[in-house]
Amino acid sequence: MLPLKLLAAMYGLLIGSFLNVIIHRVPREQSFVTPRSKCPKCSNLIKWYQNIPVFSYLVLRGKCANCKNPISIRYPLVELLIACIAILLFPDNLSLDAFVNYICLFSIACLFVAMFLIDVEFHLLPDKLNLALLIIILPYAFLTTSIANMALGFLIGFGGTYLITYLFYKLRGQIGLGGGDIKLFGVLGILLGPEGILQCIFFSALVGSVIGIILIASGKMNKNKPLAFGPYIIIVATVQIYFPKYFELINIYNLN
Ligand SMILES: [Zn+2]
């Protein structure tokens, strides 16, 4: 099993490296396939051997080989985090079912990391990433829950939060949730089902207001500026999907 976990770790490092490209380019509306990676400061093309996950960062001591400007520590950290997730989720006995489960859960985790970091930096949950999440969650939900659960979860996640946001806007003239948040709730509703998505909405609003109040009180955030809500949705959904024993009320997770 150890060689397989080592392989999973290396796969995680490579995927982490690719996620770094997505995190940088998708919110800037650049293609994540072409062109080759460049230093954002001096536009020097990064050679393949300067682009080896974690290793190149250490060899270059965190500086661009050309202009010596610092490279963000986020790059190796994302690569290491994704490698850890790849190992931690790796199943102990590898059947086809377990492997499919693993790929789905790992892909969802990767998208959560990308969406979290993009929303913190840009206050944006890109449609492309919500769509990618939908493409993974749809078949995974088919394997783990009923179609009625999926449909109701989506209806509450998307329709419910859309309606609340619309009413809030009509009554107060303020935009509560962004479109990206509403779409994320819709996609998550498909996997979490009606009860799960209600819990997700409730707890992310709770966590968001508590942290928001702390940030405003400590002067780290302006209360007139909109708050990035995606990270709180992602934190709560992560607990629901990966640590379900804390959310025992959700029926679909009690099946096994
Ligand atoms: Zn440079």
Residue-wise pLDDT tens digits, 156-171: 999 999 999 999 888 8
Q: Select, from the ranges 75-84, 176-185, 222-231, the one with the highest average predicted confidence (pLDDT).
A: 75-84
- What protein residues have CB closer than 5 angstroms to ion ligand 1? 39, 41-42, 44, 64, 66-67
Tell me the CA–centroid distance for residue 12 and ligand 1, in Å: 26
pLDDT score for 217: 87
Tell me the CA–centroid distance for residue 41 and ligand 1, in Å: 5
pLDDT tens column, 108-131: 999 999 999 999 999 999 999 999
Provide the pLDDT confidence category of residue 35 given band limits of 50, 70 and 90. confident
Q: Say if residues 12 and 85 touch (Cβ distance below 8 Å).
A: yes
Q: Say if residues 239 and 202 touch (Cβ distance below 8 Å).
A: no
Average pLDDT rounded to a whole number, residues 127-146: 96
Lowest mean pLDDT among 14-23, 122-131, 146-155, 202-211: 202-211
Tell me the CA–centroid distance for residue 11 and ligand 1, in Å: 27
118: how many CB neighbours lie within 10 A of its CB? 23
229 contact partners, CB below 8 Å, separation of at least 6 = 119, 177, 178, 181, 204, 208
- The yes-or-no verdict on residue 248 having pLDDT over 90 is no
Tell me the CA–centroid distance for residue 68 and ligand 1, in Å: 6
- The yes-or-no verdict on residue 58 having pLDDT over 70 is yes
Provide the pLDDT confidence category of residue 32 given band limits of 50, 70 and 90. confident
CA terminus-to-terminus distance, the chain:
23
123: how many CB neighbours lie within 10 A of its CB? 16
pLDDT score for 256: 40
Average pLDDT, the chain: 90
Provide the pLDDT confidence category of residue 225 given band limits of 50, 70 and 90. low
DSSP character for 33? S
CA 239, CA 256: separation in Å to the nearest integer? 18
More confidently predicted of 250 and 7: 7
